[in-house]
Chain A
Amino acid sequence: MTAAQAAALLQPAPQYAIDTKKLNLWYGTFQALYDVDLRIRQGMITSMIGPSGCGKSTYLRSVNRINERLGYVRIEGRIDVMGENIYDPRVELIQVRKQVGMVFQRPNPLPISIRDNILFSHRLHAKGGGDVHQGTPDEIVEESLRTVLLWDKVKDRLKRKATELSLEEQQKLCIARLLPVKPKLLLMDEPCSALDPKGTEAVEELLWELRGQYTILIVTHNMAQARRASEECIFMLMGKVVEHAPTEEMFVTPTHRETADYIEGRYG
């Protein structure tokens, strides 16, 4: 037994926030995901990369079941979130959405005040039982905004419309408004693609802050971002998972030809 193996044995077994088994997904007759098996480590940042149309956004959208809104989507297989199959018929969709927060490419704050944006989700879920922030509204607003490093910038204009903020601030707000209902997972679909480099850096910093407390799954087109801002990386191609490895490993010694070609920018 080598030292490395011994060290591995001493580590607790890895916990998985998402455990996907044989996930197949069709849009009508077009199959977008083929036998996806993915286990996402709890408390870590995992990035998903791959060319457009490779299925990474589709996968992300399956994890909070927003795909189903399109009537022509068919799904086989299962996705366990924190050990529970979210496609079980007994599962309440509203609870899935509460536990699994989603951040979009284009910041989409609601056209109400900053304060009301933060409290929106909390107001929906506070009376429904389950784990939510127990503080007063003022505490919730302050804590959430502090977590996303926005409090000092906006504390004097909480009553102003959220749509007046800069894109970077809006995106941070969109992350902050998920926190009061204590989601287990944060899904981010290219959260920085509408931001300038400075905003991107700020959001990436925020991801590192949230790491550990939340499991974060982030889809990105930006290879440098995947490398900087994630611990594990998944490369997808044509609806299949090609490679899933610690980020550093994948970028330095990819085990698949396609991965190497993609991260070196030979296609994409």
Chain B
Amino acid sequence: MTSANAEMFQASGLNKRNERVQNSYRILFGLMTLMLITPVLLILGTLVAKGGGVISWEFLFTAPTDGMRTGGVLPALLGTIWLVMVALLLSVPIGVCAAIYLSEYAGDNWFTRTINLAIINLAGVPSIVHALFGLGAFVIFFGFGTSILAASLTLAVMTMPVVIVATRESLQAVPQAFREACWNMGATRWQTIRRVVLPNAITGILTGVILEVSRTAGETAPIMFTGAVFFTPFLPESVLDQTMALSLHLFVAATQVPGIAEEVPFGVALVLIALVLTMNSASIAFRMWLRGKKKW
């Protein structure tokens, strides 16, 4: 009797096997996570190690000289900031408004489903195809020439699906009960959106915008034909100017300039990543500030 009870709470063979299986899965998942962050750390580490040496105020704030072998990246840095900002100004209002319409107003019918399908497909179009579209539409047809405007429009078209999808998802994450509460008090759709839905979705929307910033700043193909140039000593002054851009400059410095010091392309890449991280941090800070505020 006693011996039977003593075994009751001991691990059985099955328990032990389950335990082993469970441990091996945990190790597998942990290893995968490690593999995920290893390239990130390697990239950042290599860039800092190889390119950190050239970074100086002079590198950031002067134009390239001697066929881009010496000097800095100022025109490319400013050009990328211009391109990203103009693209954001164009795509965020349109994308957010479209997402609000699709999520809050449009009914679930074949028309909205078609639009949703189109958005998903638009997100899957390769960037070089967007580049050709931008060349045909904005540079030639609308006659903007190769300019910041044409390049930013191309970038905007390319990144709009990201904004729409992110915005729509964060709108749909707002509990339906909040909307019902508002409607039942006699709030119109717009009052509901403005006072309850948007304040609760804003953080998610900004996350979408942050994603877009990262993507826009790094894109090379869409701006190559539409507004970015290999080299110009002039800083952009309006959206109709051509400009250098960090991503294209990196490509040029890495492959097209014979006799360039090895650390220069790494330095350019480091500046590009730092710029993206800075813009992301700014958006995150803005997001936290909004969250801290009770109303906006």
- Residue ranges of A at the interface with B (Cβ–Cβ < 8 Å): 64, 66, 69, 71, 93-98, 101-102, 104, 106, 108-113, 120-121, 124-125, 159, 174, 177-178, 181
Contact = CB atoms under 8 A, between A and B. Distances in A.
Nearest to A71: B107
Given A112-B294, A113-B294, A124-B191, A97 B183 contact: yes
Contacts of B177: 104, 106, 108
A102 B183 CA distance: 10
B196 A66 contact: no
Nearest to B188: A94
B185 A177 contact: yes
Contacts, number: 59
Contacts of A177: 185
Contact of A111 (B180, B184, B188, B200): B200
Nearest to B200: A111
Chain A: interface secondary structure? Answer: mixed
B187 interface: yes
Contact of A110 (B182, B186, B188, B295): B182
Contacts of A159: 294
Contacts of B286: none
A120 B185 contact: yes
Nearest to A161: B294
B185 A178 contact: yes
B181 A109 contact: yes
A102 B184 contact: yes
A181 B186 CA distance: 10
Contact of A120 (B107, B195, B199): B195
A97 to B, nearest CB: 4
A181 B185 CA distance: 9
Contacts of A124: 185-187, 191
B180 A97 contact: no
B101 interface: no
Which 9 residue pairs across A and B have the least CB separation, nearest first? A97-B186, A121-B185, A108-B177, A102-B184, A98-B186, A108-B181, A94-B186, A124-B187, A110-B196
Contacts of A120: 182, 185, 187, 195
Given A104-B181, A110-B196, 14 more contacts: A64-B184, A66-B184, A94-B186, A96-B186, A98-B185, A98-B186, A101-B184, A102-B184, A108-B180, A110-B178, A120-B195, A121-B185, A121-B187, A174-B181
Contacts of B200: 111
24 contacts: A64-B184, A66-B180, A66-B183, A69-B183, A93-B186, A96-B186, A97-B183, A97-B186, A98-B185, A104-B177, A104-B181, A108-B177, A110-B178, A111-B200, A112-B196, A112-B294, A113-B294, A121-B185, A121-B186, A124-B185, A124-B186, A125-B186, A178-B185, A181-B185
